Amino acid sequence: MRERPPGSGSPADGRKSRGGLVVGLIALVVLLALPVLGLAEPNPPEGYVAIPKETGGMPWWGWPLVLLVVCFVLGIVAVLGGVGGGVLFVPIVGGFFPFHLDFVRGAGLLVALAGALAAGPGLLRSGMANLRLAMPLALIASAAAIVGAMMGLALPTNVVQTALGLTILGIVVLMWMAKKSEFPEVRQADRLSTALHINGIYFDAGSRQEIDWKVHRTPQGLLMFIAIGIMAGMFGLGAGWANVPVLNLLMGAPLKVSVATSKFMLSIVDTSAAWVYINQGAVLAMITVPSLIGIMLGSLVGVRLLKVAKASMVRKIVIIMLTLAGSRALLKGLGIWN
Amino acid sequence: METEKKSYTTEEQLVYADWLDRGMKLGFVMLVVSFLLYVFGVMTPHVPVDELPNYWHLSAAEYAAATGAPHGWGWLAHALQGDYANFIGIAVLSLVTILCYLIILPILLRRKDTPFVVIAVLEVLVLVLAASGILAAGH
């Protein structure tokens, strides 16, 4: 491991990224102000028959506005936790917002996708996400996600919710009991990963060291990603909650590489599942777009925090988030907390 | 400094990142602009925004039946309506990964990295299949 000279970031890069963020925040403020200013006047289409309103006292723009703010926060914590925003988005929005679960699941996949797209370029350029590690696993998972999405749209919702809760809580237990996960010991790379040249080096800003890494148990990892892909599509979620443990605990990739590669992989895996939902009409712009905007802006902030965040802290965030999301899904699936 | 940065990545990874960045930004801008046009009422929506609370609690199938919402790529025929104009940006975000794979293919071919050429081609086929709307599901 070698020391790396400090000050690698260019001031121009920083100004550019801050500029982009400012533009995004201005867009956010404009969006928030529109309904308040009364500028959004709807025009009913011809032949359209309105039915009585059931807004429960909330104006039509109220829920989308709350959704935007909630998703901005979710975008930040999702990047730090290495999970798709969808894993938090679906139980929270599905549980506390008045939208049907079909639209929440469709939006959840697009939320996870958008967060991954926003974070992906930075993670790839920094070397924390690894394309060679992601590509074989994403191929398996994205194909399985199509099957999962079709199954998820056919199964009863409470069955899907219960299975999701149990799965996430199982992963929490696995991560909680694991003793080595920040820099797992991989004595020898397996044949498959050696043949595919799946290895890398990245600069760890926390320890200020270059970390060489390789992986083992690649065939087992590929098998696991079949299950992950099916579950991702079935539950209408991102798959970071499962990607990270498999990459880190099973295959032995360092935690930060696992978190970053997992986040990037969501941009591939969730694309295939999202298209199934889009094509089934399970996407509503008024729910999806505020969610996407919120999550993408939050992800841009999260990526900057990830570069300096300590791996142990990231692990704790992952465990806390998964515990909350898993408990919520399980209780809802069992009809205890609806 | 640039050389030092690139030492942590491969050529195809940087190219992929650049195109992912472009596609993400394009899709994001289109999404924001179309959403502004939608909520401003510049583009007449298929379902008026103040009527949406009456429908967003319905399932996708019930919503389609109640509002005449299109399925599959049928939204393209409604792309000039405020709510479905947003689908252009959503489609860009959902297609950018396919573009990235196609862009790095020549790099992988030039390096004769056969396993990853096969993986990239298969991934494109999987994503195109998903996007095609050929696959049907539902209750």
Q: Establish if B32 belongs to a structural domain.
A: yes
| 50-109 in chain B: CB under 8 A from chain A | 50-54, 56-61, 63-64, 67, 69-73, 81, 83-84, 86-87, 89-91, 93-94, 96-98
Domain positions in chain A are 62-333
Taking an 8 Å cut-off on Cβ atoms, the answer to whether A110 and B93 are in contact is: yes
Taking an 8 Å cut-off on Cβ atoms, the answer to whether B126 and A292 are in contact is: no
- Number of separate domains in chain B: 1
Q: Establish if B26 belongs to a structural domain.
A: yes
Residue with tokens 């370029």: A121
pLDDT of residue A38: 39
Domain that holds residue B86: 2-100
Q: Establish if B122 belongs to a structural domain.
A: no
Contact predicate A290/A67, CB 8 Å: yes
Tokens of A267: 């941009």
d(CA A122, CA A128): 9
Q: Answer with the residue of higher pLDDT: B57 or B121.
A: B121
| Alpha carbon A326 to its chain's center | 15
Complex confidence, ipTM: 0.91
Residue ranges in chain A modelled with pLDDT below 70: 1-57, 81-85, 95, 174-175, 178-181, 309-311, 314-315, 318
Q: Establish if B109 belongs to a structural domain.
A: no
Is residue B134 over pLDDT 90? no
CA distances from A129 to A250, A258, A267, A272, B10 (A): 17, 8, 12, 20, 11
pLDDT of residue B110: 96
Residues of B whose CB is below 8 A from A274: 94
Residue A54, Cβ neighbours under 10 Å: how many?
Answer: 10
Closest-CA distance, B18 to chain A, in angstroms, reads 7
Of A50, A132, A196, the CB nearest to B51: A50
Of B59, B89, B94, the CB nearest to A274: B94
Mean pLDDT of chain B: 89
